[in-house]
Structure 1
Amino acid sequence: MKASVDVKTAFLYGKLDEEIYMDQPEGFHQKGQERKVFRLRRAIYGLKQAARAWWQELEKSVRKMGFTRLHSDSGIFIHRGQEGVVNMVAYVDDIIFFGLKVLADQKKLEFMRRWECRDLGTPTKFLSMSIQYDGDTIQLDQTAYLEKVLERFGMGNAKPARTPMVEGYYPLKHTGPNNAVLTRKFQLVIGSLLHLMLGTCPDIAYAVTKLAQHCANPTEEHLAKVFYIMRYLAGTQKYKLVYEGRKGLGQGLESYTDSDYAQDPTHRLSQTGNLVLLASGAISWKSYTQKSIATSSTEAEYMALFDCSKQVLWLRILLKELGIPMQVPTPIYVDNQGAIFNASNLVQERRTKHIDVRYHKIQEYVEEGQVVLYYIPTTENPADIFTKPLGRVKFELFRKSLGLIFQ
């Protein structure tokens, strides 16, 4: 059972430790004391301390309700009692309860007695994401938000593109004068695209993150390319991120990693792409430029593998705290035999001695049985979608592997 509430004027509940004063509000002046100011006892909207003060009050309150905050995620709380378990997810003032119906209802009502809330019932929206339930299957999308974004930027009737970025394209840094109007428009579009990418659109991760690197000084070409991403989104509005419930959970975590060696034409930095699946859908994805120059494709893959293993380890800890421990090592699929050998071999070779010691942490994860490494051909590795702009056929194949299904 799932239940959700929204805390009204949440930031006004936060208590302040600091001395903060404000002018008397218009219409509330004390006669004869107009020159005096108010000292704030509680936070108000606009204070930089308001969010933290509210969170401290929220955490104290739910602890009194018997909840314990997870070590792996400060926004998730769990209540374990003789009758069962209730999980609570909090994002600022949006709260969701998960558990047996009777228990979840009890905790929701207890929470609502402590704060003035709107009872939203079974959650169908969360952080601009639409949630649909079909038996054990859960479907997520941001269609309503996407429609507003397309309309806002005049792309409501745009001709759809088949991929978010043209195959082989690489945005180059602009060193000329800055166009303030163009820059502002570019940043607004990128901000909206980032929200979609982080929510339910992992398929645009490479294109968005690569173009977002040019927010400080974009060109007309860069702006045209972000609108090209919107053309792609205009044609994929009916795609949803689908999770297959108990059937998919039985498979446990599954992860993929890849890199594109020396992709950056200026600094010769490589591009990393990581993907983690659970219940047949993507729950974690990442596309970023590596911070140091790899001297070979194997080294670039090894660095990407280490980064993926860190995310896998965190997810294993999170699931264990939620009462869903992974009983077997999590598979990580990588398309480089050399990287697999280096990660599985505790004896350093001459060719790998120069690699930063932190990347060798992957060897410890393998030895402990936290992860197990498998080779996968490049043509079958869905993490490739996060390392470069692909052609339509390959892109659509890997998009389906993310759990993005046309509905």
Structure 2
Amino acid sequence: MLHKWPLHQLDVKNAFLNGNLSETVFMEQPPGFINAKFPSHVCHLKKALYSLKQAPRAWFQRLSTFLFQIGFSCSRADPSLFVYKPNSCVLYLLVYVDDIILIGNDDAMIRRFITRLHHEFVIKDLGKLSYFLGLEVTYTSTGLFLSQAKYAHDILTRTKLLDAKPMPTPLATAKNFTTQGTLYSDPTYYCSLVGTLQYLTITHPDISYAVNQVIQFLHAPTIAHFQSVKRIIRYVKGTLAYGLTFSHSPSPSILGYSDTDWARCIETRRSTYGYSIFLGGNLVSWSAKKQPTVARSSCESEYRALANTGAEIIWIMHLLRELHVLPPDRPTILCDNKSALFFSQNPISHKRSKHIDIDYHFVCELIAAGRLHTTFVPTTLQVAIIFTKSLPRPQFESFRTKLRVSPPALCLRGVLEIKIDKDLKRSHDLLN
């Protein structure tokens, strides 16, 4: 939304039936359409059908071939993204199975493209993007507001927690998870709930750390783990209307925060790391994960987190370059560990660093080449800390605000249009 271009949503009807099969596939004659003269014959399929394992690949091949023919190019960073840029005109097309989002700077070119797409496939023009894969899009005077209020409401309805008292934070302060305890009686239900919460993190990055913790026990959840999941859902109850705000930025730059909680897991002693990456002040990427190996020092765990953050930033830069909106300034990573920063800027080989995998040293190369910059940030301003540990309520709310996770802003459009669901308002009042 850097240029305030309009977003269009399209839907392809019977998308999988458009795919042409390159393999030899036979099918039994369907009931009601059996040839009386040749009842034992089979059908040789020329086009894909639903439930055929080749159907998704065949459909995407058909669509991408059509887009290539009219001048689109496929992104290397994201194969579901296509870019059209003949001259000053720019069009971006993002496809997810049969759902398409189209954005560009030329309305006339967009209309011509949609008309041409109509001639090739059966397309339903859904107009301005408002609801996409559970994400609700609200347009503001400065940009976009993304939320999953309906999806979150469905979770509460399913778990029968609509009338539960909301919690101020997803997890209790200094909460530690272990495998000890009485096993939960329905692990399938536990896995299902955690999976729905994981999808909710698309617009609720504030629950990413909590979801990462409970997702580590899918194989054998305990009653304590299930209680933690219920606490997360009760937190969601109080933040149903919350979402991510994206606003216009005249001079966007890439800024990343990297942090770890050394040896957080008391059983495996593996560290939890997290990062948050902003583009023009808008949160575009974040993560909360457990490191795959044990770090022998906090410096090592922080340095590994720097490497992961750097890798994500490089991917974002590749994507922005293909979108022709790469910022001129080099990206910056902020870290609160001075030893890790020193090691990233001064790759000196000595006894204290021999154990660090050589794969992580590419951060030094990026810094030496001038493609990346690292600098120190105090822990009190370390935004990524919300992805590495459970925080007290004041700190949690402060960092949540810095992530730009908040309720929708009230706005005036001709007449006052404020429609707040009674359940959402009551939950917000209880929480505050």
| TM bucket normalised to smaller | over 0.9
- How much does 1:33 deviate? 2.5
Whole-Å separation in 2 of the counterparts to 1:35 and 1:241:
58
Note the alpha carbon deviations across 1:344-397, whole angstroms, 9 max, x for none: 013323211221000100001111222111111112101001111111111111
- How much does 1:18 deviate? 2.2
- Would you say the 8 A contact 1:259–1:270 is kept in 2? yes
Whole-Å separation in 2 of the counterparts to 1:118 and 1:94:
10
Whole-Å separation in 2 of the counterparts to 1:64 and 1:91:
20
Query: 2:108 aligns to what?
Result: 102
Which amino acid in the other structure matches residue 287 of structure 1? A
Unaligned runs of 5+ in 1: none
Whole-Å separation in 2 of the counterparts to 1:132 and 1:264:
39
Whole-Å separation in 2 of the counterparts to 1:22 and 1:39:
7
Query: 1:29 aligns to what?
Result: 34
Query: 1:227 aligns to what?
Result: 230
Answering whether residue 83 of structure 2 is matched by residue 65 of structure 1, we say: no
SS of residue paired to 2:138: strand
Whole-Å separation in 2 of the counterparts to 1:287 and 1:274:
7
Answering whether residue 169 of structure 2 is matched by residue 163 of structure 1, we say: yes
- How much does 1:178 deviate? 7.7
Which amino acid in the other structure matches residue 3 of structure 1? H
Whole-Å separation in 2 of the counterparts to 1:24 and 1:82:
51
Query: 1:144 aligns to what?
Result: 150
Query: 1:183 aligns to what?
Result: 187
Query: 2:84 aligns to what?
Result: 79
Whole-Å separation in 1 of the counterparts to 2:225 and 2:10:
41
Which stretch shows the higher mean deviation, 281-290 or 167-176?
A: 167-176
Note the alpha carbon deviations across 1:133-171, whole angstroms, 9 max, x for none: 123311100111111221122122221111111111122
Whole-Å separation in 1 of the counterparts to 2:374 and 2:47:
52
Query: 1:121 aligns to what?
Result: 127
Among candidates 140, 143, 153, match of residue 159 of structure 2 = 153
Which amino acid in the other structure matches residue 253 of structure 1? I
Whole-Å separation in 1 of the counterparts to 2:48 and 2:97:
14
Query: 1:385 aligns to what?
Result: 386
- Would you say the 8 A contact 1:88–1:98 is kept in 2? yes
- Would you say the 8 A contact 2:181–2:222 is kept in 1? no
SS of residue paired to 2:206: helix
Note the alpha carbon deviations across 1:36-59, whole angstroms, 9 max, x for none: 222322222222222111111111
Whole-Å separation in 2 of the counterparts to 1:149 and 1:8:
29
Note the alpha carbon deviations across 1:48-90, whole angstroms, 9 max, x for none: 2221111111110111121001111111111112351111111
Whole-Å separation in 1 of the counterparts to 2:74 and 2:348:
40
Query: 2:266 aligns to what?
Result: 265
Query: 1:91 aligns to what?
Result: 96
Unaligned runs of 5+ in 2: 1-5, 409-432
Answering whether residue 204 of structure 2 is matched by residue 201 of structure 1, we say: yes
Query: 2:247 aligns to what?
Result: 244
Whole-Å separation in 1 of the counterparts to 2:56 and 2:233:
33
Spell out structure 1 runs of 4+ moving beyond 6 A.
Answer: 175-178
Among candidates 116, 131, 134, match of residue 137 of structure 2 = 131
Whole-Å separation in 1 of the counterparts to 2:212 and 2:13:
34
1:272-287 matched pairs, under 5 angstroms: 272-287=273-288
Q: Percent identity?
A: 33
Whole-Å separation in 1 of the counterparts to 2:388 and 2:99:
34
- How much does 1:177 deviate? 6.8
Whole-Å separation in 2 of the counterparts to 1:395 and 1:314:
29
- Would you say the 8 A contact 1:260–1:270 is kept in 2? yes
Query: 2:416 aligns to what?
Result: none
Whole-Å separation in 1 of the counterparts to 2:13 and 2:389:
44
Whole-Å separation in 1 of the counterparts to 2:246 and 2:129:
16
Whole-Å separation in 2 of the counterparts to 1:217 and 1:174:
10
Note the alpha carbon deviations across 1:180-239, whole angstroms, 9 max, x for none: xx1111011111111111x21111111111111111111222112111111001100121
Call closer, same or farther: CA 1:15–1:174 in 2, change over 3 Å: farther
Structure 2 length normalisation: TM-score?
A: 0.90
SS of residue paired to 1:78: strand
Whole-Å separation in 1 of the counterparts to 2:280 and 2:347:
33
Whole-Å separation in 1 of the counterparts to 2:273 and 2:326:
28
- How much does 1:251 deviate? 3.7
